[in-house]
Each structure stands twice: as C-alpha cells, then as structure tokens.
C-alpha cells in the first residue's frame, strides 16, 4: 500500500527535477561556454571547456573591452538604479500620503490621473519625450539627454503611477487615529509623515523597491533612447547590446559579457529572495 503513494511521489520528484534541469540549462550553457576559446566554442558548444582557467582570461578581456567598459557600466547601472529607487520611494510615498489623506476634488482627480496613466505604454511617449527634453535643454540649458539627471528624472516620472498606487492602497489601511494623536501632541504635518507614517510603510516600500529595481536594472529601451548609443554613460544592458552588435558571433566573449551581467542580479536574488518574490506577487495582484 505504501508503495503506490511513494512511487507517485518519486515520479513527481523526478519530473520536477528534469524540468528544473531544463530551466537552468541555458545558464549552464553560458557558464561552460564562457570558459572556452573562440575555436572550442564553434567546434564543441556542448562539452565542458578544456581549461576552466580560460574563464578568467575571458573575464579580463571583457573587463578591459572598450565597448563594454564593464566597471564604468556597472557603476552607471548602480548609480541610476539606486538614486532612482531612493527618490521614487520617497517622492511617491509623500505624494500618496497627501493624496490619501486629503479629501478634496483636486486630490481625487490627481490620484485618478496617476492610476489612469498606468495604462500608458512607453511607446506612445518615447518619441515626443526625446524632442521635449531637447526643447527644455535649448530653453533652460539644463542637459537632460545623455545625462544622469535626465534618466533619473525619467524614472521618477515613469515609476510614480504604480508606486503611488501601491502606497495609496497601503496608507488607506493605516488607522487615522495614530496621525490624529500626533497632531494633538503638537507634531507638525511633515513631522507626522517622516516620524510616524514613513516607518509604517516599510512592507510596501519593499514591494515598491523590488518592482522598480528589477525594472530599472534590466531596462533597455529607455536608456537606449535617453542615454543614447556611444555615450560615456551606459547601463549594463546597453553595454551588452553594444558589445554583441560590435563583436557579432564571437560567442566566447559575448557569453562572458552575459555571465558578468547576470552575476550581480543572481547574487542579489540569493540574498533577498524572500522580499523579491513577495514584492513581485504583491505588485502583480494589485
């Protein structure tokens, strides 16, 4: 009797393990082929590399490559992602709080516009955005295209609707009494936000940071347009596409570049797995 159930479970375990292998097989291909020479990779793409030490040689090549500029691209990606995240998180939380706590027509109208904007795809605004940024620069002299300022500013604008929506929903579930008590104790309005509300928002902040973080780190089209090609500031996805375009079919190096682009995300995932999964589910269901 035990056997029937046990056999079923063993079959399930086996099927799932096979699927798991199929899912990570592409990553295995990247790792083994990053350690091959150009000749080896065209002859034997499936076999293990002759010398794993070659991986180091390839990594050094990509590290020093002029198209990838790995250290600079990595730094640019880190700067753009972290600064955008910190500002989206703060500005959206502030905005959502006043929108949720102010019961006026103007307030509801502004919130409605933010929610409605979640439907707007990047495609419909991307061409005018470029010409609008150019116009602003011509008038004010503030450089927005090909600069950190321009891309971070863009991410704040594009990240605001979803982030405000998530914060707004969470804030509505916080009892008002807490803030009223602080007001009676003589707290200023802005102090109430920074001392009381903002710390309570921690769980939803994690969601907002994860959702926007994965989007911004991996984003390709917006940096391609706002930063442009051949810029000294380039993010990792731009660097990889730049390199793959310039070194067509040099798979030993392209795959090494890909490996180096993936490593930071995978390390990050291993450390923050719980928050990432939670955040992404919470963001999708809303």
Contact set for other proteins, span 148-187 (CB under 8 A): 153-154, 156-158, 160-161, 164
**Given candidates 59, 166, 214, 227, which one binds other proteins under the rule CB under 8 A?**
214
In the complex, the smallest distance separating the C-beta of residue 86 from other proteins, rounded to whole angstroms, is 12
In the complex, the smallest distance separating the C-beta of residue 284 from other proteins, rounded to whole angstroms, is 6
Q: Choose the stretch contacting other proteins; rule: CB under 8 A; options: 24-32, 55-63, 64-72, 200-208.
A: 24-32
Q: Considering the rule CB under 8 A, would residue 9 count as an interface residue with other proteins?
A: yes
In the complex, the smallest distance separating the C-beta of residue 106 from other proteins, rounded to whole angstroms, is 9
Q: Considering the rule CB under 8 A, would residue 147 count as an interface residue with other proteins?
A: no
Nearer to other proteins, 117 or 174 (CB): 117
Give the C-alpha separation, 150 to 124, whole Å: 19
In the complex, the smallest distance separating the C-beta of residue 161 from other proteins, rounded to whole angstroms, is 7
Residues in the chain, total: 286
**Given candidates 7, 38, 45, 143, which one binds other proteins under the rule CB under 8 A?**
45
In the complex, the smallest distance separating the C-beta of residue 158 from other proteins, rounded to whole angstroms, is 6
**Given candidates 200, 220, 230, 246, which one binds other proteins under the rule CB under 8 A?**
220
In the complex, the smallest distance separating the C-beta of residue 163 from other proteins, rounded to whole angstroms, is 8
Which residues within the stretch 58-77 sit at the binding site for other proteins (CB under 8 A)?
none
Closest CA to 256 of 231, 239, 234, 235: 239
HEC states along the chain?
Answer: CHHHHHHHHHHHHHHHHHHHHHHHHHHHHHHHHHCCCHHHHHHCCCCCCCCCCHHHHHHHHHHHCCCCCHHHHHHHHHHHHHHHHHHHHHHHHHHHHHHHHCCCHHHHHHHHHHHHHHHCCHHHHHHHHHHHHHHHHHHHCCCCCCCHHHHHHHHHHHHHHHHHHHHHHHHHCCCCHHHHHHHHCCCCHHHHHHHHHHHHCHHHHHHHHHHHHHHHHHCCHHHHHHCCCCCCCCCHHHHHHHHHHHCCCCHHHHHHHHHHHHHHHHHHHHHHHHHHHHHHHHHHHC
Size of the site for other proteins (CB under 8 A): 85
In the complex, the smallest distance separating the C-beta of residue 39 from other proteins, rounded to whole angstroms, is 13
Question: 59 with 256: CB under 8 angstroms?
Answer: yes
In the complex, the smallest distance separating the C-beta of residue 205 from other proteins, rounded to whole angstroms, is 15
Give the C-alpha separation, 76 to 66, whole Å: 15
Which residues within the stretch 227-286 sit at the binding site for other proteins (CB under 8 A)?
237, 240-241, 244, 251, 254-255, 258, 261-262, 265-266, 269, 273, 276-277, 280-281, 284-285
Give the C-alpha separation, 210 to 280, whole Å: 7
Which residues within the stretch 75-134 sit at the binding site for other proteins (CB under 8 A)?
87, 91-92, 94-95, 97-99, 102, 107, 110, 113-114, 117, 119-121, 123-129, 131-132
Q: Choose the stretch contacting other proteins; rule: CB under 8 A; options: 54-62, 66-74, 199-207, 215-223.
A: 215-223
């Amino acid at each position: 009797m035990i056997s029937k159930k046990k056999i079923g479970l063993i079959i399930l375990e086996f099927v799932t393990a096979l699927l798991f292998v199929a899912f990570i097989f592409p990553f295995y291909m990247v790792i083994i082929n990053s350690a091959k020479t150009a000749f080896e990779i065209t002859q034997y793409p499936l076999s293990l590399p002759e010398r794993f030490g070659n991986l180091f040689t390839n990594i050094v090549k990509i590290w020093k490559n002029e198209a990838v500029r790995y250290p600079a691209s990595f730094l640019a990606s880190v700067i753009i992602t972290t600064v955008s995240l910190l500002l989206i998180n703060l500005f959206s939380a502030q905005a959502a709080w006043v929108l949720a706590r102010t019961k006026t027509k103007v307030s509801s109208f502004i919130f409605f516009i933010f929610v409605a904007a979640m439907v707007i795809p990047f495609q419909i605004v991307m061409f005018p955005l470029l010409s609008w940024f150019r116009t602003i620069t011509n008038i004010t002299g503030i450089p927005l295209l090909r600069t950190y300022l321009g891309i971070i500013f863009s991410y704040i604008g594009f990240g605001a609707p979803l982030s405000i929506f998530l914060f707004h929903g969470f804030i509505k579930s916080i009892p008002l009494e807490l803030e009223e008590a602080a007001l009676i104790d003589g707290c200023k309005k802005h102090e109430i936000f920074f001392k009381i509300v903002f710390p309570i928002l921690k769980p939803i902040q994690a969601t907002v940071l994860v959702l926007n973080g994965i989007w911004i780190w991996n984003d390709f089209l917006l940096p391609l347009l706002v930063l442009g090609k051949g810029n000294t500031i380039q993010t990792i996805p731009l660097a990889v596409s730049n390199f793959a375009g310039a070194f067509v079919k040099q798979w030993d190096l392209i795959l090494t570049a890909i490996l180096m682009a993936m490593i930071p995300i995978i390390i990050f995932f291993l450390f923050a797995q719980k928050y990432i999964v939670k955040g992404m589910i919470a963001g999708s269901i809303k």
